[in-house]
Each structure stands twice: as structure tokens, then as C-alpha cells.
Amino acid sequence: MRTSIKFILLAIIIINIVFYLYYKYSHPFWSRSPVAHYYNSFWLSEGHIDLKRDPQNELVTALQKNEQWIQLDTSNIEELKSFSHLLDNHYMYDTEFKYQYTPEFIKWSLNTPYKHFKALSQTDRKLWSSLLERDSKIIASVTSRPLLLNSNGNKLHSFYVDYLCIAKEARGQYLAPKMILKVEPAIWAENQTNTSNLSGHTENINNNKNSLVSQYDFGKFNMYIFKKDGRQLPFKYVCRYKYYYINTRLLVLPRLSKQFKKIQNISISQVYKYFVNITKGYKLFQEITISEFKYLFINDIVDCYVLFNENDKITGFSSFYNSQLVYNNKTEGNLLTACETFYILGDNMTEIFDLTVNKVKEAGYQYIFTSNLFKNKAFIENYKFEYICDCYYHLYNYYAPPINPEECALILP
């Protein structure tokens, strides 16, 4: 018995050494980053991993002589055009579907409210999003925006990193780590030299560039979350889920209801309370203020509906938005538009989805994209959606045990 235990322990040690050496030499950037690796996660408990930046990783942010950073200004139409051009042509490999981003969608996705976070109230959001220009051409982008997550009851002041895009001709040049480290200072380094955000810590900043973030006005914002489609990054994820789509012309749904009402026509506080009471019961979700809720669901981007029963009690909530994806249908000679489900929740998911499809068709969308997060599995299986790929939520500078898609109520547009 003792011999078997010793053999098992020895095997575990050897396997972890092999993993360590493999990641150290195959993925040097990530091996030096504060993420949950397969060789160290078995002794990690939920929480932050490291509050200091790796100086060796800092070297990858150095600009070449023909490069410069552009802090993305969503009020600048020329910058938005350059940004959308990069995304439309380089953000996706798929040959059937392609992106066609509008400035309005980019503005909506990036300009989420954040002034309610006291630590960020005096900070310009341009600090969190950058374009990389080389020889007067935009070759890469990365953006981030703050949000409050809740993981297993722990409040996480986080940034969501999005739109990490590298031009096809510039790939293989170690630009992805460069872009990741460009938004990382929004959490740690750049605020140390932004004296307008300081609280009397200038001396500490000058003496110690690697000081803990708790000394500065960014407060607890010292981790971030991002999505990865297709293949996971070379470290542990917090959630792996699947992505699907369906042609709306395959759905014949006669179900209608006068009690399925547009969100603009009802009490927002009532709907907000319903939304929060449901999402807070999951292992991972966003803690959202009513101002954030209004921003996300009452606008020209998102279609949002609420279902009531005969007693005027809310029994369902549905939302979807233009996915910015179009299907290049060569047979019909036109571009078919697609929407993506946002939050769909309620007592009867099939009924709510049926009602939603009618609204999707009224809006003119030919395709619906969705994931199996939250309770979406019910209508995905019922209507036989087609599988596209696996997707992953990764945490940076924080470890949380992996959860199943149906345990995750975090859906990020």
C-alpha cells in the first residue's frame, strides 16, 4: 500500500515537472504571468495569484521605431473607422461569416458606465483601450472595460479584455502578449505615473514601480477576464462553453403573446430586480447597478422584452442584439444578417425563446447565434442548433475553480 502511494506521488511530481518545463519553453510569456497553470493550480485556493508584474514580460511592450500607440477615442470617427476596418478584415478566420462592425456598436460595447466605481471616477476610459500603429497602418487592437464580477460569493473588481485583434500579415511576431501587456497597466503600472489619480503616493511611485496596486486609486482593480474562441490559452480556464447558431427560416413558431412587452414600456426597477434575483444565484455573474442595466438593455443596439403572467408578475426576460456578423450567401447574392442572444431567462425557457424568435424575425435577422451558458441548453437542444466551436473564459491574476456552463450567468457582448 505504501509503495503504491509513493509511486502515485512520484508520478504526480514527474508529470508536474514535465508540464512546468513544457510551458516554460513553449509558452514563456504565459509561464511568467500570474495565471493558473496546470502544474500549480492543484495547490491554489480561490483568490488573487500575484500583485506584482514580471519585469521580463515588460520587455515585450517596447515599441519599435516605426510603431506608436494610439489610445482609442470612441468620439473620434476616424479612429473608429480604422478600428472597425481592422476588425472586419482580421478578427475572424471563418469563410462563411464575416464581421461588419458599425461605429454605434463599438461605442456601445466600450462606453459602459464606470463612474460609480470610486477608484475610477477620475480616470479617462481611453487609458484602457489601444491601437498599435506601424508605418502609419493600424496592425493590432486591444480594449478593456471595468466591471464587478462575483465568483463563488467573492467580489472581483475586474476589467473585461476584448477586441484583441492582430492583422493577418503581422501574426507570429509576438504581438498578442504585447497587446495584453498594453492593457495590463490599466490595472497596475500606468496609474502609478498618472498623478491626477493619486492620493499622496507620488514618493512611493517614484521609488517603487512594482508597488502593490492597493496603494493607488485603482483600488481593487487588479485582475481581468477575457474570452477565447476556438482553442483555450495555455493555462486553466474558469469556464469552457460552446457556441452555436441556427437559421431562423428553419423555425416556424406561431406562439405570440400580448404580455411579451418591450422593456421601454415598463417599470425598469421591477425588471432590474427580477434580473438581479435570478443571476445572483449562479457561481459566476456580473454584479450590475441599475445604471449599467439601463445602459445595456435600453438603447438602439439591444432588443429587450419582458414576459408577464396574467397577474402582471414577470416570468421571463429576453434580449438579443446585432452580432455584427453577416453570412455571405453567394447563391442569393446578398449578405444575410445575424443576431446574438444576450440574456434569456425565466420560468419556461422554451416559451420565452419561441416568443423571442418571432421578434428576431420581425427585426429581419436570418441567423441566431448563442452559447450554452446559463439556461440556454434548453432551447439549444430543443431546436437542434448547429455547433460552431468551444469558447473559454480565462482569468488573469486570479484563480477560481472551473465551473460548468449552466453554472455561469456571465454573458458578455
Q: Do 261 and 217 share a structural domain?
A: no
Q: Say whether both 268 and 391 belong to one domain.
A: yes
Question: Which pLDDT tens digit goes with each residue over 38-50?
Answer: 877 777 899 988 7
Task: Please give the biggest Cα pair distance in the chain.
Answer: 71
Are residues 185 and 107 located together in one domain of the fold?
yes
pLDDT tens digits, residue range 141-155? 999 999 999 999 999
Of 412, 411, 399, nearest in space to 33 by CA: 399
**CATH number, domain at 292?**
3.40.630.170
Is the model's pLDDT at 73 over the cut of 70?
yes
User: What would the pLDDT profile of 211-236 be if each residue is shown by its tens digit?
Assistant: 333 334 566 788 899 999 988 999 99
pLDDT at 55: 78
**The CATH number of the domain where 93 resides is what?**
3.40.630.30
What was the pLDDT predicted at 332?
A: 53
Residue 329 is predicted with a pLDDT of 62
- Is 389 part of a structural domain of the chain? yes
Residues 193-212: what's their mean pLDDT? 36
Q: Report yes or no on 320 lying in a domain.
A: yes
Q: How far apart are CA 320 and CA 369, in angstroms?
A: 9
pLDDT at 42: 72
Percent of the chain with pLDDT over 90: 59
Instruction: Report the pLDDT averaged over residues 258-265.
Output: 89
Q: How many domains does the chain have?
A: 3
Do 205 and 279 have their domain in common?
no
Q: Is the pLDDT of residue 304 over 80?
A: yes
- According to the model, what pLDDT value does residue 43 have? 76
Q: Round to whole Å and give the CA distance between 328 and 347.
A: 37
pLDDT tens by residue, 325-335: 888 765 555 67
Same domain, residue pair 207 and 263: no
The band of 21, judged by pLDDT with boundaries at 50, 70 and 90, is low
Same domain, 298 and 363: yes
Does position 58 have pLDDT exceeding 80, yes or no? no
Could you tell me the residue range of the domain that residue 34 belongs to?
1-45
Q: Is residue 231 part of a domain?
A: no
Q: Are 264 and 200 members of one domain? A: no
Say what the pLDDT of residue 9 is. Answer: 66
* Residue 1 confidence (pLDDT) above 80: no
